[in-house]
Structure formats: C-alpha cells, structure tokens
Amino acid sequence: MAVCFSSPVKLKSIDHFTLLFNPKPKNNTNKPIFKCNASVTTTATEPQPLFTSVKTFAPATVANLGPGFDFLGCAVDGLGDYVSLRVDPSVHPGEISISEISGHSKLSKNPLWNCAGIAAIATMKMLNIRSVGLSLSLEKGLPLGSGLGSSAASAAAAAVAVNEMFGGKLNSEELVLAGLESEAKVSGYHADNIAPAIMGGFILVRSYDPLELMRLSFPQNKELFFVLASPEFEAPTKKMRAALPAEVMMPHHVWNCSQAGALVASVLQGDLAGLGKALSSDKIVEPKRAPLIPGMEAVKKAAIKAGAFGCTISGAGPTAVAVVEDEEMGKAIGERMVEAFWKDGNLKAVAVVKRLDRVGARLVGSIPR
Amino acid sequence: MAVCFSSPVKLKSIDHFTLLFNPKPKNNTNKPIFKCNASVTTTATEPQPLFTSVKTFAPATVANLGPGFDFLGCAVDGLGDYVSLRVDPSVHPGEISISEISGHSKLSKNPLWNCAGIAAIATMKMLNIRSVGLSLSLEKGLPLGSGLGSSAASAAAAAVAVNEMFGGKLNSEELVLAGLESEAKVSGYHADNIAPAIMGGFILVRSYDPLELMRLSFPQNKELFFVLASPEFEAPTKKMRAALPAEVMMPHHVWNCSQAGALVASVLQGDLAGLGKALSSDKIVEPKRAPLIPGMEAVKKAAIKAGAFGCTISGAGPTAVAVVEDEEMGKAIGERMVEAFWKDGNLKAVAVVKRLDRVGARLVGSIPR
C-alpha cells in the first residue's frame, strides 16, 4: 500500500515544531545538548535520491534504567531491526509502500499503521519529497512488547533510511522528531527509546517543548555490557503504565531524584558499580511493575547475587536488564536470570549479553544510482 | 562553659554508624564516591595535639539548587565562618569551652546548643580525646537563616579545627558525620550543606544509611560565579519545609528527576547554560516556597532578564542565587536582583558575587606546639 503525504496521517508535533538548531552531523559527541523549538519546516528544495537502495540498522534500547523513568534510555548493540529502502518507479511519486515484513507476521503493511511507515512518512515530509516513490522492507530483529524498544528500532531504521537515501540532510534531533510521530501512535509521546535508537549511547530527554536531548557520553575507554533476560510473557505498556501511582511521596521523590543524579554521574564517569547501584535503586516505578512480571523480583536478586552491578526492568518489561563489565561473566549471570524466571515465575526465558551501542541507527548498505 | 564527653549530648547517628572506608586525605578528588557504613568507631589511641592553636575557615553553601532538592549542594568561596581553637589548660581535659562568639550576639555559648560546639564535641569523641581541654572561638561571617548554610559553616569549621589540631586523622566523610550531628539538631538530618561545607565543590548526597556522598567535579579550567542576593527577611527552615507538598504529581516527579539529571550532567561537563537552566527548572519546591519570600519571583525574572544562566532560592531562602560566568556581569545582575527585591517585595537586600569554592573547610592558621 502506498501513502501520499496529503493523506490524513497526523503529524501533530512535527506540524507544531520548528527546528531552530544548526544542522550538524549525526552522532556528534562534542556538543551534548540538542534543542528543537516550534515546528519542523520542510527543506526548501526537494533533494534527489543519492542511491537506488539503502539498508539501515537501528539498535534495541533500554529505557527508564530504574530512576531514569521516562527520561533516560540507552542503545544496545547487536540487537535491532533492519530497513531496506529502494526507489520504486511503481510507487506513486511522493508516496511510500511497505513491500515486505520479515521476522513478525502480525505487523500491518499499511504505512499509516506501521512504526517504520509512520516514521518514514514523517521523514519524507520533513525532506519535502514529492517526486520519488519508495518501497520499504522491514526485518524485525526485535520481538514486540519485550521492553527493548521494538517500535522505536523500526521507526529509527526507517527514518534514517529515508534520510540517508536523500543525502542525510536531517540531523539526529529532526530524525528523533520523525520517530516520535511513530512512538506517539504506538506507545506514547516518549523519546526515551527513539532518541537513543537514533543517536546511540545514553540520551537524557530534558524536555519535549522544545524537544531537548542531552547526550551522556559513556567513556570510550570503558566497556559496558547489558544482560537482557526476556521471558515468554506479555507486559503491555498500557497495563504497565496503569500500574503507576498518580502521585509520589516526597521522600521517594527526593530519593529517586538523587539516584537519577547518581545514575547520570555514573554514566559520565564510566562508573559501572555506581551505574548498577543506581539502576537497582528505583523506589517508585519498579516496585509497582515488578510484581506484574512473574519472577522479576527473584531475577533481580539472582542477577545481583551472581555479580551484576545492578538490575531492573527494561522499559515497561518484561525483559530484565542487568549491567556487567565482562561478557563471559554476563553469560553466567544470564543463566541465573533465566533459571530464576523459570523457578520463580514459571516462565521460559532467554538471555543475551550485549554491548552498549554508541552509534545508533546507521546505514549498513547502499547501492549508488 | 565546658562540656565533658560523658555528657548527655546525643550522638545518635555517630553511635549507630561505623566507618568502613579506608582513611584518605581530605578533598581527594580522584575517587568521587565515599561510603560510610554502620557506626563511627573512635580512634584506638588518643592522638596528641600538634598545635597550640589552629584557625579554620568553612565556606557558605548553596543547597537544593532547584531540582537538587535535599540531595545536592555546593560551596561558595569568600563567605563563611571562622573557628579558632586552642589547647586550654583551664578547660577540664576531654572537654570543650566556647570562649567567644563574634559576628552574632544571639548564639549560645553552651557547646551543646551551638552548631560549632556540637560538631567539635562529635569530632573529639571520634578522635577519643580525653586528656586535652580545648577553647573555641567562633567568628560568624554568615547571617543565620539566610539560606547560605550558616549552621553548616560553623559546624564544618569546628569539626575541621578539632581534626587539624590532632593531626587530621579523620577523613572528609567522618567529618561530615560529625557535622551532621549539629545539622540534625538545628535544621534536620540533611547533609546537603554540611557535606559541601567540608568537602568543597558540588556534592551529591546519595544515601544516608550508609552515608554515601558523590563529588561532582566542576571542570578546573572553567569559572563559575554565584550572585547571592540576600533580603532582610526571615524564612525559617521549619516554615519553608512546612510549605512543601507531602506528595508530588507523577509528571512533576519525572520532570524534576530529568532536570536533576541534567543539572548533574551540566556540573560535570562545566556547562553553565545547562546548569543555569536546570537551576531554574524546579516545578515542585520553588513554586511553593517562592511566594513566601516577597519579591522572589520578580528577582528570578530580573536575574535571568539581566543575563544570568539561571536563578532559584538558595537552600530554604530567603537568599536568591543566580549563576553567571563573569564577575562583572554578576555585579550588574546583582543590582537588578536587589532592585527587584525592593520594588516587588519591599525588602532591602544586598548582593555579592562569589566563586565556586572547590576546597571546602580548611586550616587558615596554626601555631605549632
């Protein structure tokens, strides 16, 4: 199915925002703060495609990170979604079609109802693409509803694919805004998955109006591994969000704030023990959500007992995420976490050990015109 | 008045804590995290005084810093209290006497009811001083109830004076615990003034049980000035604390948490604009307290309009603190803040511009034995 930009897709926030920041290369680590203000303006002239086809990858992401609830996330390498995008003369100019989805059978090929499609449309609109038709193929590497930013990975890969196809004219923050269109539709207007999926590393979402993102650079000379234990269990974001309290006791607010500060400092200082401790310290969200995921509390205990620096729920779950500095040790810890999911939660689970992704969504292949 | 250590002074938390960390020099900036666990043990053998007298200075401190409420504080150079301490054969061995207090007439000379006295006693107890009597003289450089950590400065100067007198055997965190005894009595068991007063710079209080402090090092090659505008107005900590809500709406919690994270990142990165913005961003505490200080809201606006990076209430007020990078500009901004206090609050005020203090409480004079 092809969709024209004059279709009824709502690009609410894009319509309402204007990007005021200067264009700069993606993944620029020198200037850690990015600001977008008011509405995104489309590029003045329509760019032409530089490629016949491009292929992009976008990583899984771990949002929340305990006390970083709803404003902090990071990218995880080696897990994610691929998007292949090609110029398709059979698609009406200015429209996009989803030709294939592999790795998941339930996803809609209607671009208006597909994360990749929505983000691609938003990006094409920003670029003012009117005279080229595109075909998109999505390879899902991430399961849905796992707490690993599955929708954000699809959206990020699609937004970056469209942008790369036309010469990379949009910067990271504009791409995050495009991805946010998709996130808003499927899981809420939250950038804590889509921002790190596009930009890599740790990203702090400072505000939405204007969108302001801070890159928290984990030191290049230090290693950081995540153990991700995913049980066969559905933890719908809606249900997990409904479990949250409307109000927070002041002492818990102060506690979580201080742990959030400690988490940020630990990331910037490359202090794994501090990071893990902060990860485990949430007194507000995790205590409400963990009981809804069978075995989660035992999994956390098992991970820490086995030597993880810390453990919490990844995103809204059900994946449990632990932090380690050594890959082999991470594998052993993953086994303990899987055992605990089985023993205490009666859930089958699989565990993987993955590095911090410092790059974010990227081009992995292209055929020049 | 002299007080013996077997007196009924309550050293509750010191009795309940044991310091587990290794002794290390004060103001060590290489290891940013400090932990104390369980109860403070007194030194095994009684140290002898190295000096006939010592004189110490402890700086003013700005606690809260907007979204850093109750867990973040920093020290301000050039404002503070002095303590002179001498070996006094006329004081009963193991006891301390307050001989003089200048700069403030209302303070008690009873060491049990004086911030400097309580902290000195706690420090002597930690050092196991039994055979030397001491006389303490306090020069108040800070007004009481100003929101600039007046009680913490007295306590810090006293604790460091006693420690230096006997060879500096206690480290910073032990001294913070001694100072906390004093703070607990006069303004609550909060370390966000006493920790930076003793250690200098920005200190994040991560937890109390065990006491865990994180030094947030502001880059050495960058300047940071505070404009401190203090009106003639009393803002009792108790009243200012009573103004706080018992619960916080979840969106405000998330907002303040993200700003606290941004504040910490800005300090570590030496990003003054980011720091100022975070300082100004509190949606929970400042909105409740500012209306209780006549003119405060106008002062904040005036400071930011005049070019400050940000402005908020210092501690529980009534001092307003703004952040600038240039001393001369700070003076001009201070004038605008004083004008606003007068115009909108009908309050006389004085403004000073002071650097970040990176050192904390220190010896400024000594006479060897």
Predicted ipTM?
A: 0.89
Confirm whether A361 is domain-assigned: no
A166 and A52 in one domain? yes
DSSP, residue by residue, B231-291: ES----HHHHHHTS-SEEEHHHHHHHHHHHHHHHHHHHHT-HHHHHHHHT--SSSHHHHGG
Question: If interface means Cβ-Cβ distance under 8 Å, which residues of chain B face chain A?
Answer: 32-33, 67-72, 204-207, 214, 216, 244-250, 253-254, 256-265, 268-269, 271, 274, 284
Q: Nearest Cβ partner of A257 from B67, B265, B271?
A: B67
pLDDT at A120: 98
Contact A136, A83 (CB under 8 A): yes
A271 and A202 in one domain? no
A202 and A236 in one domain? no
Interface contact A258-B72, CB threshold 8 A: yes
Please give the Cα distance from A318 to B269 (Å, whole number).
35
If we measure between CA atoms, which residue out of B220, B188, B219, B222 comes closest to residue B205?
A: B188
Tell me, rounded to whole angstroms, the distance of Cα B81 from its chain centroid.
11
Interior angle at CA B264, CA B262 and CA B267, nearest 5: 105
User: What is the CB-side half-sphere exposure of residue B224 using CA atoms within 13 A?
Assistant: 30
A189 and A268 in one domain? no
B281 and B179 in one domain? no
Give exposure, A293-308, as e/b (b: 16+ Cβ within 10 Å): bbbbbbbbebbbebeb
Confidence of residue A105 (pLDDT cuts 50, 70, 90): confident
Residues 6 or more apart whose Cβ sits within 8 Å of residue A147: A62, A230, A235, A313, A314, A315, A316, A317, A318, A319
Tell me, rounded to whole angstroms, the distance of Cα B49 from its chain centroid.
26
Interface contact A257-B206, CB threshold 8 A: no
Confirm whether A365 is domain-assigned: no
- Indicate whether A28 pLDDT > 50: no
Q: Which residues of chain B does A250 touch, with a Cβ-Cβ cutoff of 8 Å?
A: 244-248
Q: Which residues of chain A does B248 touch, with a Cβ-Cβ cutoff of 8 Å?
A: 247-250, 253
Nearest residue in A to B259, CA atom? A206
Q: Nearest Cβ partner of A262 from B204, B259, B269?
A: B204
Q: Nearest Cβ partner of B257 from A32, A257, A271?
A: A257
- Indicate whether A21 pLDDT > 70: no
pLDDT tens-digit map of A282-339: 999 999 999 999 999 999 999 999 999 999 999 999 999 999 999 999 999 999 999 9
Nearest residue in B to A212, CA atom? B262
In sequence order, the β-bridge partners of residue B34 are B213
A103 and A200 in one domain? yes
Q: Nearest Cβ partner of A250 from B245, B261, B271?
A: B245
If we measure between CA atoms, which residue out of B174, B137, B144 comes closest to residue B158?
A: B137
Interface contact B260-A265, CB threshold 8 A: no
Of A194, A217, A240, the position where a domain reaches its end is A217
A32-46, A262-276, B16-30, B124-138: the lowest-pLDDT one: B16-30
Domain count, chain A: 2
A116 and A252 in one domain? no
Q: Which residues of chain A does B206 touch, with a Cβ-Cβ cutoff of 8 Å?
A: 258-259, 262
Q: Where residue B166 sits, what CATH number does that domain have?
A: 3.30.230.10
Interior angle at CA A144, CA A325 and CA A281, nearest 5: 40
- Token duo for residue A46: 């329509």
Please give the Cα distance from A315 to A62 (Å, whole number).
6
Confirm whether A369 is domain-assigned: no
pLDDT at A239: 86
Q: Is the dihedral of CA B180, B182, B188, B192 positive or negative?
A: negative
Contact B232, B347 (CB under 8 A): yes
DSSP, residue by residue, A78-140: EEEEEEEEEE-TTSPTT-EEEEEEES-SSS---GGGSHHHHHHHHHHHHHT--S--EEEEEE-
* DSSP at B215: E
Of A168, A193, A217, the position where a domain reaches its end is A217
Please give the Cα distance from A365 to B61 (Å, whole number).
55
Question: If interface means Cβ-Cβ distance under 8 Å, which residues of chain A face chain B?
Answer: 32-33, 67-72, 204-207, 214, 216, 244-250, 253-254, 256-265, 268-269, 271, 274, 284
Domain that holds residue A159: 2-217
Q: pLDDT means per 10 residues in chain B (369 residues)? A: 35 31 37 49 80 98 97 97 97 96 87 95 97 97 91 97 97 97 88 98 95 96 97 87 95 98 98 97 97 97 98 96 96 98 98 97 95
Q: Is the dihedral of CA B124, B128, B130, B132 positive or negative?
A: negative
Tell me, rounded to whole angstroms, the distance of Cα A150 from its chain centroid.
7
Give exposure, A41-79, as e/b (b: 16+ Cβ within 10 Å): eeeeeebebebebbbbbbbbbbbbbbbbbbbbbbbbbeb
Q: Which residues of chain B does A71 touch, with a Cβ-Cβ cutoff of 8 Å?
A: 254, 257-258, 261
pLDDT at B22: 31
* A62 φ/ψ angles, rounded to the nearest 5 degrees: -110, 110
Interface contact B249-A249, CB threshold 8 A: no
Confidence of residue A87 (pLDDT cuts 50, 70, 90): very high
pLDDT at A40: 53
* Structural element, H or E, at residue B135: strand B134-139
How far is A217 from chain B, CA to nearest CA, in Å? 10
Q: Which residues of chain A does B254 touch, with a Cβ-Cβ cutoff of 8 Å?
A: 69-71
Confirm whether A362 is domain-assigned: no
Interface contact B248-A253, CB threshold 8 A: yes
Residues 6 or more apart whose Cβ sits within 8 Å of residue B109: B1, B98, B99, B101
pLDDT tens-digit map of A91-101: 999 999 999 99
Of A164, A195, A217, the position where a domain reaches its end is A217
* Pairing, β B247-249 against β A247-249: antiparallel
Per 3-state DSSP, what percentage of chain A is helix, strand, and coil (rounded to 5)?
35, 25, 40
- Token duo for residue A124: 């094409």
Size of interface A-B (CB pairs under 8 A): 119
Interface contact A265-B214, CB threshold 8 A: yes
pLDDT tens-digit map of A229-244: 999 998 887 888 899 9
Q: Nearest Cβ partner of B261 from A246, A261, A269?
A: A261
A175 and A105 in one domain? yes
* Structural element, H or E, at residue B204: strand B202-208
B255 and B127 in one domain? no
User: For all residues of chain A together, what is the average pLDDT?
Assistant: 89
Contact B305, B280 (CB under 8 A): no
B276 and B144 in one domain? no
B235 and B166 in one domain? no
B246 and B343 in one domain? yes
How far is A182 from chain B, CA to nearest CA, in Å? 22
Helices B172-186 and B115-127, packing angle to 10 deg: 140
Confidence of residue A9 (pLDDT cuts 50, 70, 90): very low
Q: What percent of chain A lies above the pLDDT cut of 70?
A: 88
Q: Which residues of chain A does B284 touch, with a Cβ-Cβ cutoff of 8 Å?
A: 253
Please give the Cα distance from B41 to B255 (Å, whole number).
41
The three-state secondary structure class of B81 is strand
Confirm whether A272 is domain-assigned: yes
Residue with tokens 């209306």: B291
Confirm whether A112 is domain-assigned: yes
Cα A357 to Cα A58, A284, B223, distances in angstroms: 10, 28, 34
Q: Nearest Cβ partner of B269 from A32, A70, A250?
A: A32
Q: Nearest Cβ partner of B72 from A206, A244, A261?
A: A261
Q: Where residue A247 sits, what CATH number does that domain have?
A: 3.30.70.890
